[in-house]
Amino acid sequence: MRYLEDFEAEQKFGSSRVCVESARIKSFAIEFDPQPFHLDEDSARDSLFKGLAASGWHTAALTMRLLVQSELKPAGGIIGGGLDEMRWPRPVRPGDELHVESEVLEVRRSKSRPDQGVIKVRTTTLNQNEQPVQMFVGNLIVLRRPVSSGKAEG
Amino acid sequence: MRYLEDFEAEQKFGSSRVCVESARIKSFAIEFDPQPFHLDEDSARDSLFKGLAASGWHTAALTMRLLVQSELKPAGGIIGGGLDEMRWPRPVRPGDELHVESEVLEVRRSKSRPDQGVIKVRTTTLNQNEQPVQMFVGNLIVLRRPVSSGKAEG
């Protein structure tokens, strides 16, 4: 578990891998994103995606699981106040194997909440060919190290 | 179905409503966001959320369903190249009933793709007390009206 004091800019964290199954692409889409190009190969061929593609929100949800299981492990959990930007540069296809690379861009203490801070993290989701399929920059709320267990540094 | 030419800034679109069930909050979290405050009431009480809360990605996925079912209906489907920003200003709780309000902020033709354009849409997800629980600004790819069926306007 890492407190705010344990993070610094340019730290990088990898993840394990997850395979995206065709059946789960379709069942996720039935519940959350019922559009032809996420539901059916034939309809998908005639769409902008030119083939079955996972909903971007399915990719986002899978990315979250990889993040939670990664070594990022901020104290208090991964709690995002928001994202500065999000991109889906190419589709996720059935059978793709995804992994995540996170990089800390910025660490700052909260002025109003002395027990908290915020880290800005760029999270890139890549397929098995190391091509980015999703990128977002998130702002995570992270607890500071409790004073009782803290030490003056230096 | 609306082509690029049918959209203009300040247009607004509502949605139907969806109830967020406690059991689905937990099962979504088991698959995609396995953190205590999304999984278990007791653990959630001691977290920053001070009670069980839906994963932000669950809220995003439900928002997508409401958007797809809404009257927005861009030609070619709702295909997002990305988001300019995303915020989760307050938690979604078990039993909350969500709906979506979308507002078109900007419409522009693509310079490189004469058959397409992009609309910038602010999508706000509100609970039953009309409090925003999520907001994002997305850029959607929309087809232009085919020339064969087009008419000069005015």
B78: nearest CB among A31, A35, A68: A35
Residue A147: predicted pLDDT: 81
Residue A154: predicted pLDDT: 44
Q: Which two tokens stand for residue B37?
A: 């405050």
**Segment A22-80, tens digit of pLDDT:** 999 999 999 999 999 999 999 999 998 999 999 999 999 999 999 999 999 999 999 98
Contact criterion met (CB below 8 Å) for A33 and A55: yes
The whole-angstrom distance between A71's CA and the closest CA on chain B is 14
Provide the mean pLDDT of chain B: 94
The Cα–Cα gap between A64 and A62 comes to 5
Asked whether the beta carbons of residue A87 and residue B76 sit closer than 8 angstroms, the reply is: no
Q: Is A35 on the interface with B (CB under 8 A)?
A: yes
Indicate if the pLDDT at residue A19 is higher than 70: yes
Chain B residues whose CB is inside 8 A of the A87 CB are 81-82
Q: Is B9 on the interface with A (CB under 8 A)?
A: no
Q: Is B48 on the interface with A (CB under 8 A)?
A: yes
Between the CA atoms of B92, A139, A146 and B50, what dihedral angle is there, to the nearest 10 degrees?
0
Indicate if the pLDDT at residue A113 is higher than 80: yes
**Segment A124-139, tens digit of pLDDT:** 999 999 999 999 999 9
The Cα–Cα gap between B5 and B2 comes to 8
Chain B residues whose CB is inside 8 A of the A86 CB are 82-83, 86, 136
Checking DSSP bridges between strand A12-13 and strand A116-126, what pairing results, if any? unpaired
**Segment B99-140, tens digit of pLDDT:** 999 999 999 999 999 999 999 999 999 999 999 999 999 999
Chain B residues whose CB is inside 8 A of the A84 CB are 85
**Segment B22-40, tens digit of pLDDT:** 999 999 999 999 999 999 9
**Segment A75-88, tens digit of pLDDT:** 999 998 899 999 99
**Segment B72-89, tens digit of pLDDT:** 999 999 998 899 999 999
Q: Is A104 on the interface with B (CB under 8 A)?
A: no
Residue A151: predicted pLDDT: 54
Q: What is the mean pLDDT of residues B8-18?
A: 98
Residue B151: predicted pLDDT: 54
Residue closest to A15 by CA, chosen among A148, A107, A124: A124
